[in-house]
Amino acid sequence: MIPILIFSLILAATLYWVLEPLVLPHRTELRAHADPRADLQARVEILLQELRDLDLEHEAGKMDDTTYAQVRKSLRAELAQLLSELEGSS
């Protein structure tokens, strides 16, 4: 008898919890969507980190000057493009 009682309580609580948003829709809050600019911002962060690592690796002698200059230039060009995309989307 007790297990049936406990299961009935669990079933009732489950049904209430799951179906309540459908029955009482006014209590459901619509939260904001994810920021569409988040991906662009994250890519800017990654590029900045890459620039930081690049400088450090160059200073550590892991990269010759020519390659360093070329890679840095392309990273900065990418950053500029991303920043303008970000500006355009705001």
Residues in contact with another protein by the rule CB under 8 A: 3-4, 6-7, 10-11, 14, 17-22, 25, 28, 30-34, 38-39, 42-46, 48-54, 56-57, 59-64, 66-67, 70-71, 74, 76, 79-80, 83
The nearer residue to another protein, 3 or 88, going by C-beta atoms, is 3
Look up residue 88 and give its two tokens.
């355009």
The single-letter DSSP state of residue 27 is G
User: Which helix or strand (DSSP H or E) is residue 31 part of?
Assistant: none
Determine contact, residues 19/36, Cβ cutoff 8 Å. no
> Distance from first CA to last CA of the chain, Å, rounded?
63
The nearer residue to another protein, 21 or 89, going by C-beta atoms, is 21
Q: Minimal distance in Å, beta carbon 8 to another protein?
A: 10
